[in-house]
């Protein structure tokens, strides 16, 4: 297993942690769960930004091939990010 694959798995774990805090904040909103949701979102954004810089760096001479697995991960991350932008119903 390469460091690249480990990094993708690490991003997946971070996204699952973020989704956990999203669900907790969605069902039982309070300041603590909102804080951890914001924190996990920021940590995930930093690590995803580093991946984007690595994949799409125009100043490197090395060509980086974005394989199918990476495309699936990026698609999943984008879908989950859009999913948790759904507003919370007023009856919850």
Q: What are phi and psi of 30, to 5 degrees?
A: -155, 175
What pLDDT score does 53 carry?
A: 87
Structural domain contains residue 92: no
Counting the structural domains of the chain, the total is 1
Q: Give the 3-state secondary structure of residue 37.
A: helix
In the chain, count H helices and then E strands.
3, 0
Query: How many other C-beta atoms are found inside a 10 Å radius of the C-beta of residue 25?
Result: 20
Instruction: Give the pLDDT confidence of 15-66 residue by residue, as tens digits.
Output: 999 989 988 988 888 999 899 999 998 999 899 889 888 888 888 888 778 8
Q: Distance (Å, rounded) from C-alpha 11 to C-alpha 23?
A: 18
Structural domain contains residue 25: yes
pLDDT confidence bin for 85, thresholds 50/70/90: confident
Structural domain contains residue 59: yes
Structural domain contains residue 91: no
Structural domain contains residue 88: no
pLDDT value at 92 more than 80: no
What pLDDT score does 90 carry?
A: 64
Structural domain contains residue 24: yes
Give the domain extent around 46: 3-83
pTM of the model: 0.78
């Amino acid at each position: 297993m390469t460091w690249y694959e480990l990094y993708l798995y690490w991003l997946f774990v971070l996204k699952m942690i973020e989704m956990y805090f999203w669900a907790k904040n969605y069902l039982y909103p309070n300041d603590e769960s909102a804080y951890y949701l914001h924190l996990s979102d920021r940590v995930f954004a930093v690590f995803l930004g580093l991946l984007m810089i690595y994949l799409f760096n125009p100043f490197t001479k090395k060509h980086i091939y974005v394989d199918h697995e990476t495309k699936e991960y990026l698609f999943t991350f984008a879908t989950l990010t859009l999913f948790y932008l759904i507003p919370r119903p007023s009856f919850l």
